[in-house]
Amino acid sequence: MIERRSRLRRLLEIELPALLLVVVAVAPYVWMAITSIKPDSDIARFPVVYWPEMPTLGHYADLLARTSFPKNLLDSLIVATCASLLGLGLSVPAAYAFSRFGFVGRRFLMTQFLTINMFPIVLMIIPLFVAMRALGLLDTVLGVVLGHATFAIPFAIWMLTSYLNGIPKELDEAAMVDGATRLQTITRILLPLAAPGIASTGIYVFVASWNEYLFAMMLSGQNVRTVTVALQLFIGEYTIQWGLLTAGGTLVALPVTILFLFVQRHLVGGLTAGAVKS
Amino acid sequence: MVGNRFTPYLFLAPALLATAAIVLYPVASTLWMSLHDFVLFRPHSVPFVGFGNYARLLADEAFWISLWNSFVWVGLAVGLQFALGFGAALVLNESFFWRSAARALIIIPWALPSVIIGLMFTWIYDYNLGLLNDLLLRIGVLDGPVAWLARADTALLAVVAALVWQGFPFFAVVILAGLQAIPSELHEAAEIDGASRLQRLRHVVWPGLKGVILTALLLRTIWVANSLDVILVMTGGGPGYATHTLPLYAFLRAYSGMEFGYGSALAVVLTLFLMALATVYVRRTMREAFR
């Protein structure tokens, strides 16, 4: 009897609130996905039709065949991949320096990288726009990637430094005592050990770049247009075409949500930079 | 370790050069522009106006409205994100058989692009066909549909609700990690001593979580105060100035108004407001990193 009552209590006090939270967390996304498979006649009906009698993939077919969306997806893929590679290419050596050397200005420079991560985008975006225009980089992949590097570099440096700090220094010291050069130590000992951290950092930068809107909107144009900018333009272009819009939104969100779930465990440590001891 | 004393700077050089070019140069440039009357379509006449742009701010009604909205926006959004996230963390810290699924699903809002969040909520708030009006009409809370994003009295709250949805998983995940770092022996000892659930929350959980929570609040406050994409997508700042916040106003003055000088001054003022918070956050984090 006591057993059963406490089981009921647990159900009411823990599992029911947990279920409510999950419903709150997924409902808007699920609603978008449902809308995307409704025929236009159902979308335009009020009171709302919660589930279409005749689900359709027509909006997805239209989106891929009749709009610029496939090209936008490709642009986003290229931009996010390049941002991720550029971020890692610059940050891995920097994190190595911060983690493995004591040098004048180390603390100062780490503080600066943390501080610029807090800068408002509006503080940088206008001069970046002016500079890119002068250099002819507006509406190019490089332009958008450089915009995204403003947040990718400081974030990646911090996350990677804390990851490298977790790998004992004795390992690279032992390798160097055994006669390995610094380069060999890095490529054969340190990088393989740091691979999981480097991969999660890269994935996080990829997701952040894929999701980013303001830089992409200011720095791109006709030639290069990422999905977030394209979707926002759809809102103006096809005000009432909710089928197309929700199909696009569902597609754009799916890959990054899956990637994000993979890396979020590593992320907590990076985001609060050591405040949560895992 | 062996090596030249210039070796670390060699490894740092690429990142430092890139950062100087794409972050420090723009920031310095914004400071410079904020002291000039710089309008994009008049590039050859950029008179120095000293603190003229800043003086103009004080008499600009839209600035004061945006500033006030920013306080409301940050206070409500961060406060509610924290409350909901804390609750979620407490629930998810208990064990039940589908807990790991619940933890994964709850993170979804955090992963989504702001534009999509804006899009989803604009659709849910739609006057004619939106889910919110439909549900509220069905259960009888409303007599007629409400244009949530077009009314001055509901627009800001509607956008805040979208941001709360986006941001609560961050607090849930961070606080949950903090909760799990509290040794279970402490809980057991308190329970044996006859502490109630509330007493345990007060005397065991809270002292262990304080640091984590303060850091998370600082980080989130800075982030929310800076963010303007969700508002830009959902309302563009309207109706009127109802959903103008400081970063959005700075952006609109520069982007739509092409007044780069004045927009820059607004951006600098926003940064000064945030500097105090950022300093506290940076100090705490550096202390943790260099323990």
Interface pTM, i.e. ipTM: 0.89
CB-based contact B108 A90, cutoff 8 Å: no
A169 contacts in chain B (CB < 8 Å): 1
* Side chain identity, residue A147: G
Cα separation of B193 and B187, whole Å?
10
Each residue of A66-109: pLDDT tens digit?
889 999 999 999 999 999 999 999 999 999 999 999 999 999 99
Tell the residue number behind the tokens 């089928």, with chain if given: A243
Query: What does the block give as tokens for B142?
Result: 């409303």
Measured between beta carbons, which residues in chain A are less than 8 angstroms from residue B117?
Answer: 28
- Helix, strand, or coil (residue B36): strand
Separation in Å, CA of B179 to nearest CA in chain A = 9
Which of B80, B120, B125 to probe by mutation at the A interface, max A CB count within 10 Å? Answer: B120
B50–chain A nearest CA distance, Å: 18
Nearest CB to A25 within list B109, B138, B222? B109
Is B26 close to A131, i.e. CB distance below 8 A?
yes
Q: How high is the pLDDT of residue A117?
A: 87
Report yes or no: A15 at the B interface, CB cutoff 8 Å: yes
- B248 → chain A, closest CA residue: A122
DSSP character at residue A54: S
The structure's pTM equals 0.91
Question: Which residue carries 């619940």 as its tokens?
Answer: B102
* Closest approach of B198 to chain A, Cα-based (Å): 14
Handedness of CA B80, B81, B82, B86 (dihedral sign): positive
Contact B131 A31 (CB under 8 A): yes
DSSP A68: S
**How far, in Å, CA of A228 to CA of A247, rounded?**
13
Between chains, do A149 and B18 touch, taking CB under 8 Å as contact?
yes
**Contact list, B115 vs chain A (CB under 8 Å):** 211, 213, 228, 231-232
Find out whether B148 and B65 touch, Cβ atoms under 8 Å.
Answer: no
For B237, list phi and psi in degrees, rounded to 5: 105, -15
Burial of A276 (0-12, 13-18, 19+ CB in 10 A): buried
Please name the member of A31, A101, A119 whose beta carbon is closest to the beta carbon of B7: A101
Chain B, nearest residue to A114 by Cα = B282
Closest to A51 (Cα-Cα) out of B110, B131, B58: B131
Contact flag B33-A246 (C-beta cutoff 8 Å): no
pLDDT tens, residue order, chain B (291 aa): 445 788 999 999 999 999 999 999 999 999 998 999 888 777 777 888 888 889 998 999 999 999 999 999 999 999 999 999 999 999 998 888 888 889 889 989 998 999 999 999 999 999 989 999 999 999 999 888 999 999 999 999 999 999 999 999 999 998 998 888 888 888 788 888 888 878 888 888 888 888 889 888 998 999 999 999 999 999 989 899 999 999 999 999 988 878 888 999 999 999 999 988 889 888 888 887 776
* Interface probe with A: pick from B19, B25, B168, most Cβ of A within 10 Å: B19
And the tokens for B39? 């309008």
Collect all residues of chain B within an 8 Å Cβ-Cβ radius of residue A172: 1
Q: Pull the structure tokens for residue B231.
A: 């508002």
Contact B19 A35 (CB under 8 A): no
d(CA B82, CA A212): 24
Report which of A205, A247, A250 is spatially closest to residue A64, judged by C-alpha positions.
Answer: A247
User: What average pLDDT does this structure show over A132-157?
Assistant: 94
